[in-house]
Structure 1
Amino acid sequence: MHNSALTPPVPLPTASALAEILDRVRSRSPLVQCLTNIVVAPWTANVLLAAGAAPAMVDNPHEAASFAAVADGILVNLGTPTEETARAMRLTVAEAAESSTPWVLDPVAAGGLAWRTALAFDLLERNAPAIVRGNASEILALSGGRGGRGVDSSDSPEAALPAALDLARRSGTVVAVSGPVDHLTGGGSVVRIANGHPVMTRVTGVGCALGALMAATSGVTEDALLASAAATAILTVSADRAARTSALPGSFAVALLDELALLTPEGLEAEVALSAAAGASA
């Protein structure tokens, strides 16, 4: 029988630990394979480059699996799946298991559309991802909820927290619920990050790019909760900075890329609005 008293507690992320992850991304430039949607592919690549990672948009079934063996992290995003990309995703996830490559699932619009919802469950069953990142409605859908309105959430991260805890425990993954306050959990702890700006929701692909950043940070640490928190902090602190000078969507998108490139580990540590609690329950 499992004896929880003998299990060492999982260290909760600190601001200094998040800063260290940013430093590692800058110095190691992790190679991130992105099987993502056609709406956001260039934006996602630019976000990764600005943060210091190396993007590779290898998403066809002839090459995706072999590339997964050499990637440092993988993003699987279900924004615009086709039969061909779905096949590539299945092959990639299988190879990730063989190669021990961390991967991130972004179940875009899960719950609202049956085929992609089934694909999300299929991928989860084939090989549990290091991180599942989605909005509240998408996370609820993976626990049997109805999903949101297309890619938009109709639920709050707080409302989705019990479902996130349940999914994390069942699948052995970290679940990151994006929203005004991001909630991240490995099933036994909850980390909250309160940075970010409402204009982020008016630029397509910001959430999708966050999944890619999580794949990048997963490539420099084996601690998936730390990786998800670091990626969230990197993006949202940069967004706070960008919104100070550019609160309209077009100029904000450019400013966000600039602030990602300018962000230092010291700046991240000083500005992240982080809170964490161990022993969370549904």
Structure 2
Amino acid sequence: MEKILWELVQLVRQQSPLVHNITNYGVMNNTANALLAAGASPIMAHAKSEIKEMIAISHSVVINIGTLDEYWSESMIMAADTAHSTGKPWVLDPVGAGATSFRDEVLNRLLPYQPTVIRGNASEIIALAKANITVTKGVDSTAKSNEAIDAARSLAGQYEAIVCISGETDIILDHQQEIFIKNGHPLMTKVTGLGCSATALIGAFIGIAENKVLAVAAAMAVIGIAGELAAEESNGPGSLQVNLTDKLYSITEQEFSSRLKIERL
């Protein structure tokens, strides 16, 4: 599988997919830079008057509810509706799901437009599936990724989506298969928005790949491995952020293949 995943990394570099992001203020710059470093082209646009035209020229759409407000939420609904009706793949990042009734309301309006991929931490996935565990801690997870597998399976079945649970082990699943990726480094949790960057990278990969599950796996693998490599030459979260961007840009097949820790069920 490692060869297929690396080919997808290369395909993003070659095709430079255009990714339309409606994402949060706190990560917008980092997200755009991560996409550029990986070879994709970011658009960061939320004005309702141009959403349909932007999506028409984009390969995929990323919706991240991190810094939610009333105007942006309507833009997100419009973008999800447009992506769904035109067959464009789109990713939902349910940041802080379960934290407030406003977030849950917006998510309940977005989900019927059947996101291609839902990516969140374990607590967000559990809250989104309205499982028994409903405690979240803002954008940080209070649960481990393996505790959210049942919730993820429920979401995948209900919305015909690929679900990616990020954590110490990243779990990617749909109704047919489950993939476990054990790459990354603990220092990555000290940099804001790396999960959001992963979501954006997923958007780039699903924009050009036929096999969407493997596209998600490739995106999560490349950012996890880049994080490992970056951590080895970083003194803290500040330098990690810079070094990780560099590694997304310069990562080699040998680095990718030798580091990849993946299991498929």
Q: What is the TM-score with the length of structure 1 in the denominator?
A: 0.91
Partner residue of 2:189?
201
Give the partner amino acid of 2:125.
Answer: I
1:231 aligns with 2:219: yes
Give the CA deviation at 1:247. Answer: 4.5
Of 189, 192, 210, which aligns to 2:177? 189
CA distance in 1, matches of 2:155, 2:213: 14
CA distance in 2, matches of 1:21, 1:267: 15
SS in 2 for 1:101: coil
Q: Residues 27-38 of structure 1 correspond to what in structure 2 (within 5 A)?
A: 27-38=14-25
Partner residue of 2:99?
112
Contact 1:157–1:178 under 8 Å retained in 2: yes
Give the partner amino acid of 2:159.
Answer: S
Partner residue of 1:130?
116
CA distance in 1, matches of 2:109, 2:253: 38
CA distance in 2, matches of 1:119, 1:269: 40
Contact 1:237–1:268 under 8 Å retained in 2: yes
Partner residue of 1:57?
44
1:94 aligns with 2:71: no
SS in 2 for 1:104: strand
Partner residue of 2:231?
243
SS in 2 for 1:109: coil
- Measured against aligned partners, the alpha-carbon deviations of 1:214-262 in whole angstroms (never above 9, x if no partner) come to 0000111132211110100110000010011114100110100111111
Partner residue of 2:60?
73
Partner residue of 1:171?
159
Partner residue of 2:10?
23
SS in 2 for 1:80: coil
Partner residue of 2:149?
161
**Structure 1 alignment gaps of length 5 or more:** 1-13, 278-282
Compare 19-28 and 186-195 and name the one that shifted more.
186-195
CA distance in 2, matches of 1:78, 1:167: 18
Contact 1:39–1:205 under 8 Å retained in 2: yes
Partner residue of 1:216?
204
Contact 1:18–1:269 under 8 Å retained in 2: no
- Give the % identical residues: 38
Partner residue of 2:35?
48
- Measured against aligned partners, the alpha-carbon deviations of 1:107-157 in whole angstroms (never above 9, x if no partner) come to 0000111111121121111x1111000000000011114141111110010
Give the CA deviation at 1:188. Answer: 2.7
Give the CA deviation at 1:267. Answer: 3.0
Q: What is the TM-score with the length of structure 2 in the denominator?
A: 0.97
Number of equivalenced pairs: 263
Query: Root-mean-square deviation (CA), in Å?
Result: 1.1
Contact 1:21–1:230 under 8 Å retained in 2: yes
CA distance in 2, matches of 1:30, 1:140: 31
Give the partner amino acid of 2:214.
Answer: L
Partner residue of 1:254?
242
Give the partner amino acid of 2:2.
Answer: A
SS in 2 for 1:32: strand
CA distance in 2, matches of 1:229, 1:163: 19
SS in 2 for 1:93: helix
Give the partner amino acid of 1:161.
Answer: I
Compare 18-27 and 262-271 and name the one that shifted more.
262-271
Give the number of the structure whose residues are more often helix, by fraction.
Answer: 2
**Structure 2 alignment gaps of length 5 or more:** none
CA distance in 2, matches of 1:60, 1:200: 32
Of 259, 262, 270, which aligns to 2:258? 270
Give the partner amino acid of 1:218.
Answer: I
Give the partner amino acid of 1:217.
Answer: F
Regions of 4+ moved over 3 Å: none
